[in-house]
Chain A
Amino acid sequence: DQQVKQNSPSLSVQEGRISILNCDYTNSMFDYFLWYKKYPAEGPTFLISISSIKDKNEDGRFTVFLNKSAKHLSLHIVPSQPGDSAVYFCAASAYSGGGADGLTFGKGTHLIIQP
């Protein structure tokens, strides 16, 4: 069963507009959520994260919102820029006491920014 779901395989947004990427999870033990960005032939790079004790975290053009009751999080990018075109992965983790467990990833959303 897929514990982290990104239901949109791709998303096309016009340059300058807001991009909203969505992610749903099923495991209530997850207490930390991360977004990674991946370009072709490169490893994922960390973008932004949020702890389950918060409902919003902002870093420049990137904001992540967490709705624990709905087990839903979203990444907002505003304004969208051509360099934002990449695959975005939502990931979740549970702290097991000895260290953070391996991340559970969604399948990714390919964001395409149109000029």
Chain B
Amino acid sequence: GAGVSQSPSNKVTEKGKDVELRCDPISGHTALYWYRQSLGQGLEFLIYFQGNSAPDKSGLPSDRFSAERTGGSVSTLTIQRTQQEDSAVYLCASSQRDSYQQYFGPGTRLTVL
């Protein structure tokens, strides 16, 4: 079956612009996660959605970052007023409820000039 998909695969933007990154989780997975991987670093947890519950936003680095999940499926991560330090690969993952195993998409490489 189809895995987690993300779009765009690459995004280059200018400092100060807003960007939107999209994630389509595996059908039937109720949990959705966003991570980012900066150069030379591990994956950093950003935000977690479980079904229709309020998201866990504890990993968001600043109030310029926000995410929503419509209809319990597709999710959009929005970064406002991008900064150069936002440059990273943004990864989305999904999992079945109560499962620790997360399935990752290929990521979106964001470059802020």
Contacts and interface: CB of A to CB of B under 8 A. Distances in A.
Contacts of A44: 43, 91, 104
Nearest to B101: A46
B104 A89 contact: no
A100 B42 contact: no
B79 interface: no
Interface stretch (B14-22, B48-56, B64-72): B48-56
B56 A107 contact: no
Given A98-B50, A100-B98, A43 B45 contact: no
B100 A43 contact: no
A87 to B, nearest CB: 10
B83 to A, nearest CB: 22
A115 interface: no
B42 A99 contact: no
Contacts of A6: 42
Report which residue of A44, A45, A102 has the largest number of chain B beta carbons within 10 angstroms of its beta carbon.
A102
Interface residues of B, number: 32
A101 B106 contact: no
Given A34-B100, A43-B4, A102 B45 contact: yes
Interface residues of A, number: 27
Contact of A34 (B47, B91, B101): B101
A44 B56 CA distance: 22
Given A41-B106, A43-B106, A98 B42 contact: no
A49 to B, nearest CB: 7
Contacts of B102: 46, 100, 103
B109 to A, nearest CB: 8
B101 A102 contact: no
Contacts of B46: 102
B106 A102 contact: no
Nearest to A95: B100
Given A43-B105, A99-B98, A107 B50 contact: no
A102 B59 contact: yes
A102 B104 contact: no
Interface of A: 4, 6, 32, 34, 36, 41-46, 49, 89, 91, 93, 95, 98-108
